Amino acid sequence: MPTSADHLRSLKTFPQLVSYLEAELDWPLREYGFDDLTFE
């Protein structure tokens, strides 16, 4: 089983990152859209 750091390094897309943050850190991100979670 990969460590958390290995898992984090394996993420390649923004949706994968959001899923990781929700699952591993219990961040409530599903209620927000892409524009709410990013900035220029």
Domain ranges of the chain: 4-37
Q: What is the pLDDT along the chain (40 residues), one digit of tens a residue?
A: 557 788 889 999 999 999 999 998 899 998 898 899 888 8
Report the distance separating Cα 38 and Cα 33, nearest Å: 9
CB 21 within 8 A of CB 29: yes
Q: Distances in Å between the alpha carbon of 19 and those of 11, 13, 14?
A: 10, 10, 9
Check residue 2 and give its pLDDT: 59
Whether the model clears a pTM of 0.95, i.e. scores above it, the answer is no
